[in-house]
Amino acid sequence: MEKRTVLIIGATGSIGTQSLDVLKKLDGFKLIGFTYHSNFDLAMKIKSEFPNAKMLSTKKDLERFEDFMDELKPEITIAAAPGFAGFELAYKAIPYTKRLALANKEALVCGGKFLKKRIRDYRVELIPVDSEHSAIFQLIEKGIEKIAITASGGALRDWPIENLKYAKPSDVLKHPVWSMGKKITVDSATMFNKALEVMEAMELFEIPFEKIDVYVHREGMIHGMVFLKDGTVKVHASVADMRIPIAFSLTYPDRLYEFPEFPEFSSLTFKKLSKERYPIFFLSEYVKDSHSLRTAFNAADEIAVKAFLNGKIGFMDIPKVVEKVIENINISEAKSVEDLKTTDKEARRLACEITRSC
Ligand code: NDP
Ligand code: MG
């Protein structure tokens, strides 16, 4: 049988390398191409393990990206580059692929309506990779009243609130449950990641904001729940390992990946989010209905997190920077991806000014 062809955008990252790991274990799939940004050494190592795959640096040869996609026309594209840049690449890839396995959550948060239109126009399948969304995707059926996604609480979940302002990057980068890239690990500690994920779920499942609950679930075993109108709640559980949802996005509707472990259930806890501990999460209420505001929200966080990681601002300044940017930015609703790019730039400029970090 012909193998299914796969291309990874952002192969040198956390999702990218775990996708490679899955591909090594799955029969019937073949890596034909990948992009990296700046990690040339790792890209060369990947090339030596997958000698038939073509590679492209999005830092050096960004303008060649669409030709690269056109030349390879992968059946499945894993979109695993981060941020607004990752959205643009996922968006550009759509005409050249049949399935978009989407890890980059910013694509739906910033560009949801544009991305979904393009997906429909080119009849591409959109399969979520983000673990909570993969969970909901596997549970979804007619008659949904509401859904819930879970959060680990991040690295500082047990810190007294008054100490959070002293947290250093090294404290924040120790994630208790998942192993991920730096940006998303900081976003887990502030709960910005969950703000993005609620909007990602709104777009993916066309469910209103008010019908998406978030629980802090320390054990990291339950990832999503759907509440059905007859009183039933369906729950998705697995070990917290991104290779499981990555594999499912490749093999769906089949389950071909073998994973050796199940969660060991003992006590399971679920708590509502505290506004004092996670103020940034609650800003999502203000931006949720506008793609432009969501884009500004995201851009401001990208700059604020960078400033925090570089020691320019404190941990609890991250939400303050984001709030200032979304309050002060002057925007109208985007009519195109170009409009979003303008908003993204302007929000970055404002955030740079506020943090004096770039
Ligand atoms: P990483 O930072 O680990 O990796 C990012 C990858 O994208 C690397 O290959 C990097 O290349 C490349 N990259 C970095 N900047 C750019 C850019 N400007 N343009 C193009 N490519 C770039 O991130 P993660 O793998 O953690 O996350 C990737 C995406 O997946 C994010 O959107 C994240 O929110 C989402 N996600 C991640 C999860 C996780 O568990 N990690 C879970 C759910 C979603 P290089 O290293 O060569 O410079
Ligand atoms: Mg997630």
- Verify whether ligand 1 is closer than 6 Å to residue 37 (CB atom): yes
Residue 179 has pLDDT above 90, yes or no: no
User: What does R_g of the chain's alpha carbons equal in angstroms?
Assistant: 20
Please state at what angle helix 131-139 crosses helix 192-205, rounded to 10 degrees.
30
| Dist. CA 36 → ligand 1 center (Å) | 9
Residue 354: what pLDDT?
98
The per-residue pLDDT for range 225-241, each reduced to its tens digit, is 999 999 999 999 999 99
The mean pLDDT value for 169-187 works out to 92
Establish whether domains 4-128 and 290-358 are of one fold. no
**Which numbered ligand comes closest to the C-alpha of 105?**
1
For the chain, percent of residues with pLDDT exceeding 90? 97
Which of 128, 130, 4 minimizes the C-alpha distance to 76? 4
Residue 164: what pLDDT?
98
Instruction: Name the amino acid, one letter, at 114.
Output: F
Beta bridge partners of 144: 228
The per-residue pLDDT for range 330-358, each reduced to its tens digit, is 988 999 999 999 999 999 999 999 999 99
Residue 248: what pLDDT?
98
Is 188 within 8 Å of 154 (Cβ atoms)? yes
Whether the CA torsion 115, 121, 122, 127 is positive or negative: it is positive
Residue 300: what pLDDT?
98
The mean pLDDT value for 256-280 works out to 97
The per-residue pLDDT for range 280-323, each reduced to its tens digit, is 999 999 999 999 999 999 999 999 999 999 999 999 999 999 99
| Half-sphere exposure in the Cβ direction for 133 (13 Å, CA) | 27
Q: In the numeric block, which tokens belong to residue 201?
A: 């779920």
Is 106 within 8 Å of 291 (Cβ atoms)? no
Residue 177 has pLDDT above 90, yes or no: no
| Dist. CA 2 → ligand 2 center (Å) | 32
CA distance 105 to 110: 9
For the chain, percent of residues with pLDDT exceeding 70? 100
CA distance 109 to 298: 8
Q: Which of 37, 87, 204 to mutate to test the pocket of ligand 1 (most atoms within 8 A of CB)?
A: 37
Residue 331: what pLDDT?
86
The mean pLDDT value for 91-102 works out to 99
Which of 348, 318, 298, 341 minimizes the C-alpha distance to 114? 341
Task: Round the average pLDDT of the chain to a whole number and report it.
Answer: 97
Residue 175: what pLDDT?
87
- Verify whether ligand 1 is closer than 6 Å to residue 331 (CB atom): no
| Dist. CA 197 → ligand 2 center (Å) | 7
Residue 167 has pLDDT above 90, yes or no: yes
CA distance 250 to 60: 28
Q: Which residue's CA is minimally distant from atom 11 of ligand 1?
A: 37
The per-residue pLDDT for range 1-22, each reduced to its tens digit, is 799 999 999 999 999 999 999 9
Q: In the numeric block, which tokens belong to residue 212?
A: 């998406």
| Half-sphere exposure in the Cβ direction for 187 (13 Å, CA) | 25
CATH topology of domain 290-358: Rna Polymerase Sigma Factor; Chain: A (1.10.1740)
CA distance 221 to 117: 34
User: Taking the domains of the chain in order of start, what are their residue ranges?
Assistant: 4-128, 139-240+262-286, 290-358
- Tell me which DSSP letter residue 62 carries: G
Ion ligand 2: residue ranges with CB closer than 5 A: 130-132
CA of 83, closest atom in ligand 1: 32
Is 85 within 8 Å of 23 (Cβ atoms)? no
| CATH architecture designation of domain 4-128 | 3-Layer(aba) Sandwich (3.40)
The strand order across the sheet containing 76-79 reads 54-57, 29-36, 4-9, 76-79, 99-102, 125-128
The per-residue pLDDT for range 22-76, each reduced to its tens digit, is 999 999 999 999 999 999 999 999 999 999 999 999 999 999 999 999 999 999 9
